Structures are given as structure tokens and as C-alpha cells.
């Protein structure tokens, strides 16, 4: 029988992490007893339909220790006499010596609360992300003398010091990650090369039926019917929106296009000012965060999709953005960059277009190609849709994850979530 498992998340629920909720729902459907532990309270005003289908109870750890100091104090008084306390405390002190931040102190306090309040029937801990959630999980697992595992994604891998990654990979029972780029790197620093499993997130194709909308013949010549460009992503550095705006500003003035951006993020206001400075503000609609149903409508109305991903100054980067798979599932031609695992999905000029990151001139040239050539857009879009449906079906991808949780379903049967 599968072990009752606590899933530790940085925040829950989150629209930007629907892929995690999708996995949790799938594990529940296969009979895995789950509890969800969130290190932060939700901030999104909207949720995804899959969140409503998840039945696991949710516990929120103290987001800031001073706000629930009595809870932290009670937890410490309970666990300090446990025989496991000394080892966990020394491990945390070693980490604190390398990372002298209050953030590290907060993770210890959260771990104390997690360990003290964890249900006795939980036999396994699983963290999503190798940075702060895995820190809390690792300390709590030591305190409770339980095995733990982790799912690694993108920012957590590329912004965490290698020494810390090595320590966590050594201590965890197993790890799973969503791209071959990630897997090969983590396997190279793990104590055992087979400890890290590749399992693409994939998308639930039940929510993204085959394209039914005919391709348009827009080519940028009609100022009353501009080519519709779509981008979905948080307004953060690694998404490359500053580069995209610069490239759009280079396009010929008589080329008619309109960009729709979906997503929140801290750089929205700055990007809007940049668009104003480039004189292209009237060609852009900023929709902000949207529900999955609303995003799907945008996929169906767009002519092509663009995501100008890059490696941020702190090393953060995309893994394999789900929005690219979603866009391709709807038959949209996708223009993106040669960053991280994006080439694992898109083969240049076969099922999409790729440019080097931050090559603004090349990005502008490829934008022009897609704007002016509706037939080429259609061919790339159809090939992209075929690739996603053949290789990135969420249900098929989950067959790599189930055995890690000691689940052996004969035929995975995951409800549609939309």
C-alpha cells in the first residue's frame, strides 16, 4: 500500500503552479493518501478548476515566525527532547553558517512546526522545489525520522548553490525533475546517478481538445485586422518581455500586429512604460492574470504565440514552460528561445521557431516571418500540435511518477479538470 504522504509547497493554491495541482490530483485519483503543507498563504485572486477537485486537507505553516511565535515556541518545546533533534539542529546550523540569513532561520522555525504538528499516519514527505520547500522538508524529515523526496523544476535548481543541492540530493530518497537538462545536471552532482528521474509535466489533453478553429490568412497588411500575437507568462526577468518589446519596436511601421499579454508579475508597470517609450503601447493589451478558461479562449483567437525566455541575472531560467505545450496543443505556431529545455519541445523550423536568447534583431526577423506568412504559421502550428499530442500527454508522463510513490495503476484514470 502506498505510504500516506505530506506534500510541502511554497504556496498553495497558485495559478502559476497548476502543473503541481494537476499532479496532486492525479496522485489522489490513484489512491495516495495526501496532506498538503503550504509555507505561504495564497495571494492569487483566482484558482484553477483542478484546485476544487483536490480533497487533501491543507495546513499553512507560519509564513513569518513573529506572526505566530507562540506556535513556533510550542513546536520547539515539543521536539527539543526528541532523539532526532540534535542531528537536525546540527544540520541546520551547518546550513546557517553558509547562508547567514533570516530566511534560513525562518525555514528552521517552519520545520519545527511541521514536525510537531504532522499527522502520525504520514510516512513520507515530498517537497516541490529544491530550494526553500526542500530545506523545510529536509529538517522536518530528520526530526520525524521519515524518508523524503523532492520534485525539482527550474528556479530552485539554477539559483541554489551546488553544495546545497548535493547535500539535499544525498539526504533525499529520490528526486524527479521535468526536463532532461535538469535531470542530467542533477544526476551529475547526486550521490547516485539513478536517484533522479525524468518525468515531463505534460498537459492534460482532456482540457485541450484538438484545434477546431480554422487558421486565419492575416498577414499584417490590413490595419483593420492585425495579426494577433499572444504571450502568456509572469512579468519577470527570465520571461524576456523587455526583449520582446524591443523586437516588436523594430518591426516595420506598416506591419499590422497586436500583442495580447496574459499574466501578472512585478514588472508589468515597467514593461507598460517601456512600451509607451517605444511608441507601441496602443498595439498591446495587458490582460493580467486570467483563469485557465480565459487563457484557452486567447489561444483560440491568436495567430501565433511568443515567449522570449532568457537566463536571468541571478541564474533563474525557465524549465519547459507549460504555456508552450498548451499553445502548441491548440495548433499555434510558437516562437521561443534556445534556453534550458525549450529545444526538447520545439525543433527550429520544424514544429516552431527558435532564436538565441536576447538576440533582439533575430527575434524581430522571426516575428516578421510569422506575421507575414499565414501558411507557414499553419504548418508549424500543426506540427507542434502533433508533437505535443504524441509526446507530452500528462497521463502518459505520470506513469513515470506513480512508481516513485509506490503506486502501480494498471490504467491511469484521471478526471478532466475543466
> What residues form DSSP beta bridges with 126?
7, 149
Read off the C-alpha cell for 302: 491568436
Q: Which of 273, 272, 298 is nearest to 286 (CA)?
A: 272
pLDDT at 415: 45
Query: Using alpha carbons only, what angle is made at residue 321 by residues 327 and 44, rounded to the nearest 5 degrees?
Result: 95
Same fold for the pair 5-202+393-405 and 227-391? yes
Q: Are 332 and 253 in contact (CB under 8 A)?
A: no
- Alpha carbon 52 to chain centroid, angstroms: 19
Nearest to 293 by CA among 262, 325, 264: 262
Tell me the domain boundaries of the chain. 5-202+393-405, 227-391
42: left (phi over 0), alpha (psi -120 to 50) or beta: beta
Cell numbers linked to 355: 532564436
CB 220, CB 226: distance < 8 Å: yes
**Can you name the CATH fold of 227-391?**
Rossmann fold (3.40.50)
- Closest to 26 (Cα-Cα) out of 46, 48, 55: 55
How many angstroms separate the CA atoms of 264 and 155, rounded? 18
Q: Phi then psi for 295, rounded to 5 degrees? A: -65, -40
Predicted local distance difference test score (pLDDT) of residue 292: 83
What's the pLDDT at 416?
Answer: 39
- Residue 272 pairs in a beta bridge with none
Cis peptide before 13 (omega within 30 of 0): yes
Q: Which pLDDT score is estimated for 410?
A: 56
Question: Residue 79 burial (CB < 10 Å; 0-12/13-18/19+)?
Answer: buried
What grid cell was written down for 273?
512604460
CATH 3.40.50.2000 fits domain 5-202+393-405: yes
pTM recorded for the entire structure: 0.86
Chunk the chain into consecutive blocks of 10 residues (it has 418) and report each block's average pLDDT, rounded to whole numbers: 92 90 95 97 84 95 97 98 98 97 97 97 98 98 98 94 97 97 96 95 90 94 97 97 98 97 96 98 96 91 98 93 96 97 97 98 98 98 97 94 88 42
The alpha carbon of residue 362 and the mean position of all alpha carbons in its chain are separated, in whole angstroms, by: 27
Residue-level pLDDT at 47: 81
Amino acid at each position: 500500500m502506498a505510504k500516506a504522504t505530506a506534500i510541502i509547497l511554497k504556496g498553495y493554491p497558485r495559478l502559476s503552479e497548476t502543473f503541481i495541482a494537476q499532479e496532486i490530483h492525479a496522485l489522489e485519483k490513484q489512491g495516495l493518501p495526501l496532506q498538503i503543507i503550504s509555507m505561504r498563504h495564497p495571494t492569487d485572486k483566482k484558482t484553477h478548476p483542478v484546485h476544487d477537485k483536490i480533497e487533501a486537507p491543507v495546513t499553512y505553516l507560519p509564513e513569518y515566525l513573529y506572526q505566530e511565535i507562540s506556535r513556533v515556541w510550542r513546536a520547539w518545546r515539543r521536539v527539543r527532547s526528541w532523539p532526532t533533534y540534535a542531528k537536525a539542529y546540527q544540520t541546520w546550523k551547518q546550513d546557517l553558517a553558509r547562508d547567514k540569513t533570516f530566511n534560513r532561520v525562518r525555514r528552521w522555525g517552519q520545520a519545527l512546526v511541521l514536525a510537531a504538528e504532522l499527522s502520525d499516519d504520514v510516512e513520507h514527505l515530498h517537497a516541490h522545489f529544491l530550494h526553500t520547500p526542500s530545506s523545510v522538508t529536509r529538517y522536518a524529515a530528520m526530526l520525524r525520522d521519515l524518508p523524503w523526496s523532492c520534485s525539482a523544476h527550474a528556479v530552485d535548481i539554477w539559483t541554489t548553490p551546488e553544495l546545497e543541492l548535493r547535500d539535499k540530493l544525498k539526504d533525499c530518497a529520490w528526486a524527479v525533475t521535468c526536463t532532461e537538462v535538469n535531470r542530467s545536471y542533477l544526476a551529475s552532482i547526486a550521490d547516485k546517478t539513478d536517484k533522479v528521474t525524468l518525468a515531463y509535466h505534460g498537459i492534460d489533453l482532456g482540457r485541450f481538445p484538438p484545434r477546431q478553429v480554422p487558421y486565419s490568412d492575416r498577414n499584417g497588411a490590413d490595419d483593420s485586422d492585425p495579426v494577433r500575437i499572444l504571450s502568456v507568462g509572469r512579468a519577470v526577468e527570465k520571461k524576456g518581455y523587455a526583449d520582446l518589446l524591443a523586437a516588436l519596436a523594430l518591426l516595420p511601421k506598416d506591419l499590422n500586429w497586436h500583442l495580447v499579454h496574459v499574466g501578472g508579475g512585478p514588472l508589468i508597470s515597467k514593461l507598460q512604460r517601456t512600451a509607451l517609450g517605444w511608441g507601441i503601447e496602443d498595439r498591446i493589451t495587458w490582460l493580467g492574470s486570467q483563469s485557465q478558461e480565459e487563457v484557452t479562449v486567447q489561444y483560440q483567437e491568436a495567430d501565433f504565440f511568443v515567449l522570449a525566455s532568457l537566463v536571468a541575472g541571478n541564474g533563474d531560467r525557465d524549465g519547459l514552460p507549460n504555456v508552450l505545450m498548451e499553445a502548441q496543443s491548440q495548433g499555434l505556431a510558437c516562437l521561443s528561445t534556445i534556453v534550458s529545455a525549450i529545444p526538447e519541445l520545439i525543433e527550429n523550423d520544424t514544429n516552431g521557431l527558435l532564436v538565441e536568447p536576447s538576440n533582439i534583431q533575430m527575434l524581430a526577423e522571426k516575428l516578421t516571418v510569422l506575421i507575414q506568412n499565414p501558411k507557414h504559421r499553419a504548418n508549424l502550428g500543426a506540427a507542434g500540435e502533433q508533437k505535443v499530442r504524441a509526446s507530452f500527454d500528462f497521463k502518459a508522463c505520470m506513469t513515470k511518477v506513480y512508481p516513485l510513490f509506490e503506486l502501480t495503476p494498471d490504467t491511469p484514470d484521471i478526471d478532466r479538470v475543466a
